[in-house]
Amino acid sequence: MIAILSGGVGAARFAAGVTQIMEPSEVTIISNVGDDEVMHGLHISPDIDTVIYTLGNAINPETGWGLKDETWRVMEALGDYGGETWFRLGDKDLATHMFRTHMLASGKSLTKITELIRQRWGVEVNVLPATNDRLRTKLYAEIDGREQELSFQEYFVRHAHEPEIKRIVYENSSSALPTREVTRAIETAELIIVAPSNPLLSIAPILSIAPIAESLKTRRDRIVAISPIIAGAAVKGPAAKLMKELGFMPSALGVAQFYRDFISAIVIDEKDADLKDQISALNIEVLTTNTLMTDPVVSAQLAQQVLKLKKVK
Amino acid sequence: MIAILSGGVGAARFAAGVTQIMEPSEVTIISNVGDDEVMHGLHISPDIDTVIYTLGNAINPETGWGLKDETWRVMEALGDYGGETWFRLGDKDLATHMFRTHMLASGKSLTKITELIRQRWGVEVNVLPATNDRLRTKLYAEIDGREQELSFQEYFVRHAHEPEIKRIVYENSSSALPTREVTRAIETAELIIVAPSNPLLSIAPILSIAPIAESLKTRRDRIVAISPIIAGAAVKGPAAKLMKELGFMPSALGVAQFYRDFISAIVIDEKDADLKDQISALNIEVLTTNTLMTDPVVSAQLAQQVLKLKKVK
């Protein structure tokens, strides 16, 4: 069994590659929940849904999030109220959030609900929220001259990740606990892969749960990260910009430094081959390859190389 | 200004008649909220919405509830999850509930939100929830040999008002308070009409708020009810059956007895003319006319007669 620490789009595409070379039932995704949010009363888990929709071959291929063949009747009607429509929720997608919210209210855990949702989409990969507890990524930015707290979605979607961020807090991380399933996956995985997701917004919320960070350190020799940053820029989203704003080097080297306590290897893009020596000096093995997942074939090749690096299969 | 104590469909049709003979801005609806319910995380106010959609000429004329030209994308997708779909929520209708839920979460009162919703539908009639507090009608039935508590919607929709009801509780009625707006409407209305709604399920929850019941008694000479029961049967729904189950006479006479403390007149159908003397004996003036609101013309005529009875206009 292999485990993947996962954010949204990048992780989902990588996981889709993995399932082309491994039995899906042997793959476990440990998903970020820091960008979960209650909107209009509905509990939305964007990273979990992006992974499930992608693996269920139901994702909108143009956006990388949301469902294909989607309609927008509810959003249009909400717009007629002058309601909040900056976070676009498609009609079919809304059913996912209503189902999740109803099940949470009836006492089911997010882990159990996520299992029901992935089964509905025919996804055999085990998708696990990092925690069943409430964990929220809050970003602090100076907007219009004063500090404002933004939820992940407010930052990412509403403000199109433009504000300069001063600090990030993973709210409730000190009391949030990993689920039994996540703990077991970390302890028993033959290989743990840190997906090419945003280190500060997708992976750090998972790491902010202390027991997860601790147990990852004990598995260092079996953990490989894939850099989401290529030639100093993020493939998608604000990873590089945000790392810079918060004092990290916006490069594959910065990513390696951020993860150095618990990874023993990193896959970086061939464009970053010049960083190899500096990363190796951190006692991290480096593999350079094409990491830009432009299509499923590249994703599968990338996955194949990561597995080979740690001699899995 | 006239005020109407209101349930759902019957009251909405009557109110639509009233607005044909009076300035809508001179009409205030005091709406039942006992059948409000949180479903899938969304706060649903069925009676308020039925009244607003009807007055906004947006109601589905076939069902008497929900919006016309509605689609069902979300419900279909929820069905694919095996989710709870017995309470049908159309796509456009869902936006109303999402808007309401979001506004409640942001601290607005149900009264203020109802105003925003009616404005969006161009409704000039003032629609007021009886209370901003949580008030819920709970019905107790014996199902499969044991007593079960049902919310209004579970009883009415899920079980199609078939179970025999042993008792009804208006949960939280002892602490719920009328809004300032409702109190003022009752105190100042030139005429208060009890709409032809279910006495036990639509009107009684409003009356269960003690300050409302008390202040209605002081206005008895200005209050007229319209019987929802014609020839021993409800025009729609379980009013007659339920009255019988709970020990009330399932007739216009039973309705008059139920309201006798605070009404000085009642409009009953001409089919019930034989009950006139018995009702008069309760010190309640009786008007017999055609009360079956088969179309807006009949609703308007009925409204006209109610106003004439108390010499309004």
Q: How far apart are CA A162 and CA A45, in angstroms?
A: 22
Q: How far apart are CA B225 and CA B257, in angstroms?
A: 11
CB < 8 Å to B78, chain A: 95, 98-99
Q: How far is A93 from chain B (nearest CA, A)?
A: 8
Domains in chain A and their CATH numbers? 37-129 (1.10.8.240)
Residue of B nearest to A69 (CA): B73
B126: three-class secondary structure by DSSP? strand
**Residue A256 has what pLDDT?**
98
Average pLDDT score, chain B: 96
* Nearest CB to A42; choose among B41, B71, B99: B41
Q: How far is B90 from chain A (nearest CA, A)?
A: 9
Residue B299 exposure: Cα atoms within 13 Å on the Cβ side? 22
Does the beta-carbon distance from B77 to A84 stay under 8 Å?
Answer: no
Look at A228-242, B68-82, B88-102, B207-221 and tell me which has the smallest mean pLDDT: A228-242
Confidence band, pLDDT 50/70/90 cuts, at residue B237:
confident
**Residue A144 has what pLDDT?**
87
**Residue B236 has what pLDDT?**
83
Residue of B nearest to A73 (CA): B91
Confidence band, pLDDT 50/70/90 cuts, at residue B92:
very high
Query: Each residue of B267-305: pLDDT tens digit?
Result: 999 999 999 999 999 999 999 999 998 888 999 999 999
Residue of B nearest to A94 (CA): B74
**Residue B294 has what pLDDT?**
87
- The answer to whether the beta carbons of residues B190 and B72 sit under 8 Å apart is no
CB < 8 Å to A121, chain B: none
Q: Please compute the mean of the pLDDT values over residues A68-93 and round it to a whole number.
A: 95
Is 90 exceeded by the pLDDT of residue A70?
A: yes
Comparing CA positions, the residue from A112, A90, A111 lying closest to residue A42 is: A90
Q: How far is B89 from chain A (nearest CA, A)?
A: 11
B127: three-class secondary structure by DSSP? strand
In this structure, what DSSP letter does residue B164 have? Answer: P
Does the beta-carbon distance from B81 to A94 stay under 8 Å?
Answer: no
Confidence band, pLDDT 50/70/90 cuts, at residue A235:
confident
Does the beta-carbon distance from A99 to B74 stay under 8 Å?
Answer: no
Comparing CA positions, the residue from A181, A171, A168 lying closest to residue A128 is: A181
Q: How far apart are CA A5 and CA A197, in angstroms?
A: 9
**Residue A72 has what pLDDT?**
97
Q: How far is B69 from chain A (nearest CA, A)?
A: 11
Does the beta-carbon distance from B102 to A73 stay under 8 Å?
Answer: no
Q: Please compute the mean of the pLDDT values over residues A123-131 and round it to a whole number.
A: 98
**DSSP string across chain A:** -EEEEE-SHHHHHHHHHHTTTS-GGGEEEEE--TT-EEETTEEE-HHHHHHHHHHTT-B-TTTSSSBTT---HHHHHHHHTT---SS---HHHHHHHHHHHHHHHTT--HHHHHHHHHHHTT--SEEEESBSS--EEEEEEEETTEEEEEEHHIIIIITTT-SPEEEEEEETTTT--B-HHHHHHHHH-SEEEE-SS-IIIIIHHHHTSHHHHHHHHTTGGGEEEE-SEETTEESSSSHHHHHHHTTS-SSHHHHHHHHTTT-SEEEEEGGGGGGHHHHHTTT-EEEEE-----SHHHHHHHHHHHHHHTT--
B156: three-class secondary structure by DSSP? helix
Q: Which amino acid type is present at position A133?
A: D
Is 80 exceeded by the pLDDT of residue B313?
A: no
Does the beta-carbon distance from A41 to B98 stay under 8 Å?
Answer: yes
CB < 8 Å to B94, chain A: 74, 77, 94
CB < 8 Å to B43, chain A: 41
Query: Each residue of B171-180: pLDDT tens digit?
Result: 999 999 999 9
Q: Please compute the mean of the pLDDT values over residues A19-36 and round it to a whole number.
A: 97
The neighbour count for residue B276, using CB atoms within 10 Å, is 16
Q: How far is B113 from chain A (nearest CA, A)?
A: 11
**Residue B302 has what pLDDT?**
93
Residue of A nearest to B99 (CA): A83
Average pLDDT score, chain A: 96
Confidence band, pLDDT 50/70/90 cuts, at residue A304:
very high
**Residue B231 has what pLDDT?**
94
- The answer to whether the beta carbons of residues A113 and A129 sit under 8 Å apart is no
Query: Each residue of A243-299: pLDDT tens digit?
Result: 999 999 999 999 999 999 999 999 999 999 999 999 999 999 999 999 998 888 999
Owner of token pair 């039994």:
A180
Q: Which amino acid type is present at position B31?
A: S
Query: Each residue of B10-47: pLDDT tens digit?
Result: 999 999 999 999 999 999 999 999 999 999 999 999 99
**Residue B75 has what pLDDT?**
97
Q: Please compute the mean of the pLDDT values over residues A300-306 and round it to a whole number.
A: 93
